[in-house]
Amino acid sequence: MVKVIEIALLVFVLAVVAAIPFVLAQGTATNSSPTISSGSSIPVVNGVQELRLYASSSGYSVSAFTVKKGVPVRILFSADQYAGCGKQLLIPAFGVNKIIQGSEESTIEFTPDKEGTFPYRCSMNMFKGTMTVIA
């Protein structure tokens, strides 16, 4: 019986230790831009639609958003050290392909020139989202 308790305790301790990096990674993004919830329309400020997109071990911070056609989009893209393939952002319909290193923040700018719903993803298609472009 003692051996079973020792094994159960060891498994518990290992699980807790393994979870520490993921717990620490939560909430490490710095946001100077307003927080945009998934599915929201990005406001136009000074002629630009700006979105802060953060990749963590659990995915992108925003899984869907809406922008206006013909209005420049600026994505402030960053990731934590556990984001893996999420450190690459691809929006094929608009020629976006950006890989970030370390904890740097990168600015991605483009102007959507067609309406519709377009996927964005990481290099391995594990992190996914959609961008809807409206008139």
Phi/psi for 11 (5° steps) reads: -60, -45
For residue 11, pLDDT over 90 is answered with no
**Tens-digit pLDDT profile for residues 69-96:** 999 999 999 999 999 999 999 999 999 9
CATH number of the domain bearing residue 67: 2.60.40.420
Could you tell me which of 74, 49, 70 has the C-alpha nearest to residue 135?
70
Task: Give the pair of three-digit tokens for residue 93.
Answer: 């319909």
**Read out DSSP for 24-47?**
HHTT-----SPP--TTEEPPEETT
For residue 130, pLDDT over 80 is answered with yes
Number of domains in the chain: 1
Residue that has been written with the tokens 């934590």 in this structure: 80
**Tens-digit pLDDT profile for residues 45-57:** 999 999 999 999 9
Domain that holds residue 103: 2-134
For residue 19, pLDDT over 90 is answered with no
